[in-house]
A = this chain, B = another copy of it.
Amino acid sequence: MNKGENLGRLLLERFRWFDGRLRASLTAAGWPELTYSQSLVFAYLDSEGTRPSELARRIGVTRQAVHQTVADLEALGLVRVEPDPSHGRAKIVALTDAGRDNVRAALGAFAKIEADLARRIGSEEVASLRSTLEADWGPVEASPPPD
C-alpha cells in the first residue's frame, strides 16, 4: 500500500467509504454498531443457518474465535444457536427475527448508498464498476488457514 495512485489502496479507501455510509445509516436507524468480525459472521451466515466451524472456514479464523463472536451476536439478540438436528454434537447459528430485520435494513441501506453514488458519478459508472469487480480476477493468494 502506498500513495494515492495504487489500486490496492484505492480499493481499500472505497471500501471504507462504503462501510462508513453503511454504519452511519444503520446506527441512525437504531441498530447496534457491529465490530468487523461480527459483520463478517453476519455476512457469511446462510439463511438456513450455518455451523460455527463452517463459518470459521469461510471467514478464515479459528473455531474458537467464531464461537466468541457468535456469543456476542447472540447477546445482541441478532442470532440464536441451536443444536443441529441432523448431527449429534454440532450446533447451528441462525438469524433471529431481529437479525432478519437487521439484514433487511442493511439491504435497504446498500440500495440507497448505491443510488446516491450513481447520482454523483453516474449510473453507467457504477454498473461498470460492479461488473469489473465481479469479473474473474483469478485465484486469491490465500494465507494458510489457522487451526
B140 close to A17 (CB less than 8 A):
yes
Count of residues in A whose CB is under 8 Å from the partner chain: 52
Q: How far is the CB of A49 from chain B (nearest CB, A)?
A: 15
Main secondary structure of the interface of A (DSSP, over half): helix
Known interface pairs A42-B1, A106-B2; A10-B133 also in contact (CB < 8 Å): yes
Residue in B closest to A1 when the chains form the complex, CB atoms: B43
With a cutoff of 8 Å between Cβ atoms, the chain B residues found around residue A137 in the complex are 14, 17, 117, 120-121
C-alpha gap A11/B40 in the complex (Å): 14
User: Could you tell me the distance in whole angstroms from the C-beta of A97 to the nearest C-beta in chain B?
Assistant: 17
> Which of A8-42 touch B at CB < 8 Å?
8-24, 39-40, 42
Q: Give A135 to B123 CA distance when docked, in angstroms.
A: 13
CA distance A1 to B128 in the complex (A): 20
**A43 and B120 contacting across the interface, CB-CB below 8 Å:** no
Known: A1-B43, A7-B133, A8-B113. 9 other contacts (CB 8 A): A2-B42, A2-B107, A6-B107, A7-B114, A12-B15, A20-B142, A20-B143, A120-B137, A125-B132
